[in-house]
A and B are shown apart, each in its own frame.
Chain A
């Protein structure tokens, strides 16, 4: 039962261009979404998040878009840099009511490679 799916195992992009990473979810109870970035031999690090009351959140080169009706979110990186090469995980949680204590459900990850 894969509630969060990242259907593209990998993405290759030229430096300076836009990277778009996609994520779909099935559980309509999810109301908070996050993107984590992971380098080899390190733990995931938080990148950006979005609440279900918003449809867009920006932080520098990173923008996350949420389409609740389609149960779809995407991460845009503009411009892409070689240092952005990593595995990107989409994650979701049910935060309403304060009963989940932040339990995250992760997608499988997308390997992003940015070529110089």
Chain B
């Protein structure tokens, strides 16, 4: 079974530029998550999808971050415009089913973003 795929693996941009990250979850996984991991900290949930609907985006800075999962499969996360403090690893994870089951989240390798 193929794992969670993410691209690009690395991205360097200047502040105020825009950037987009792509995630393809494990086939058949209904729930998809985007996390932000700042150096020295644990991953922090940004947004959570169940199929193509948003379940939780309470920690997403909506003035500059957006995400979509149009067909309930792959997803994109966009930052526009980027700030220095957005430098982090952006992790995508997926899980087979929705709520109520204690199922494992599987993580992709992440996209490392550096904002100069």
Contacts and interface: CB of A to CB of B under 8 A. Distances in A.
Contacts of A102: 31, 95, 98-99, 101, 103, 105
A43 B107 contact: yes
Contacts of B110: 42-43
B55 A41 contact: no
| Range, interface on chain B | 20 to 34
A47 B60 CA distance: 27
Interface in B61-116: 91, 93, 95, 98-110
Given A98-B100, A108-B41, A44 B56 contact: no
A77 interface: no
| Range, interface on chain A | 20 to 34
A64 B31 CA distance: 26
22 contacts: A42-B109, A43-B109, A44-B91, A46-B106, A49-B104, A51-B102, A89-B42, A89-B43, A91-B42, A98-B98, A98-B100, A98-B101, A101-B55, A101-B98, A102-B95, A102-B98, A102-B105, A103-B33, A103-B45, A106-B42, A108-B40, A108-B42
Contact of B44 (A36, A51, A100, A106): A106
Nearest to B106: A46
Nearest to B10: A41
Interface string A42-74: 111110010100000000000000000000000
A46 B26 CA distance: 15
The 9 closest A-B pairs by CB, nearest first: A98-B100, A106-B42, A43-B107, A98-B99, A101-B99, A46-B104, A44-B107, A101-B55, A106-B43
A98 B100 CA distance: 3
B108 to A, nearest CB: 5
Interface in A86-116: 89, 91, 95, 97-109
